[in-house]
Amino acid sequence: MSAPPAAVHAKLGRMDAIHALAARLRRARHILVLTGAGISAESGIATFRDTQDGLWARFRPEDLATPEAFRRDPALVWRWYAWRREQVAAAQPNAAHRALVELAQRRPVTLVTQNVDDLHQRAGSTDAICLHGSIMRSICSVTRLEIGADWLAAQTGEPPRSPHHADGLARPGVVWFGENLPADALDRANAAARDCDAVLAIGTSALVYPAAGLPALAQRHGAWFAEINPQPTPLTPTADLVVAQAAGLALPAALAAWEDA
Ligand code: NAD
Q: What is the pLDDT along the chain (261 residues), one digit of tens a residue?
A: 333 333 344 444 334 899 999 999 999 999 999 999 999 999 999 887 765 656 567 778 778 899 999 999 999 999 999 999 999 999 999 999 999 999 999 999 999 999 999 999 999 998 999 999 999 999 999 999 999 999 999 998 999 999 999 999 999 999 999 999 999 999 999 999 999 999 999 999 999 999 999 999 999 999 999 999 999 999 999 999 999 999 999 999 999 999 887
- Please give the pLDDT value at position 3: 31
- Please give the pLDDT value at position 47: 84
- Please give the pLDDT value at position 9: 42
How far is it, in rounded angstroms, from Cα 212 to Cα 238? 12
Atom of ligand 1 nearest to the CA of 205: 9
- Please give the pLDDT value at position 59: 77
| Nearest Cα residue to atom 11 of ligand 1 | 231
- For 4-27, how does the pLDDT look when each residue is reduced to its tens digit (9 = 90+)? 333 344 444 334 899 999 999 999
| Nearest Cα residue to atom 17 of ligand 1 | 246
Preceding amide of 159 cis, omega within 30: yes
How far is it, in rounded angstroms, from Cα 7 to Cα 86? 34
* 146-147 sheet: strands from edge to edge: 146-147, 133-140, 170-174
At 173, the amino acid letter reads: G
- Please give the pLDDT value at position 53: 58
Catalytic residue check, 132:
yes
Q: Which residues does 3 contact at the CB level (< 8 Å), separation at least 6?
A: none
Of the residues 33, 40, 48, 92, which should be mutated to test ligand 1's pocket, given the most ligand atoms within 8 Å of the CB? 48
Distance from residue 63's CA to the centre of ligand 1 (Å):
16
pTM value > 0.85:
yes
How far is it, in rounded angstroms, from Cα 105 to Cα 108? 7
Closest to 190 in 3D by CA, of 218, 162, 170: 218
Atom of ligand 1 nearest to the CA of 247: 19
Residues with CB under 6 A from ligand 1: 36-38, 40-42, 45, 47-49, 114-117, 132, 203-205, 207-208, 228-231, 233, 246-248
Atom of ligand 1 nearest to the CA of 88: 41
pLDDT more than 90, % of the chain:
84
How far is it, in rounded angstroms, from Cα 126 to Cα 128? 6
| Nearest Cα residue to atom 40 of ligand 1 | 115
Catalytically annotated residue among 9, 97, 132, 164:
132
Determine how β-strand 241-243 pairs with β-strand 224-228: parallel
Which one-letter DSSP state was computed for residue 141? T
* 224-228 sheet: strands from edge to edge: 129-130, 109-113, 31-35, 198-202, 224-228, 241-243
The H or E element that residue 113 is part of is strand 109-113
How far is it, in rounded angstroms, from Cα 229 to Cα 248? 10
The H or E element that residue 242 is part of is strand 241-243
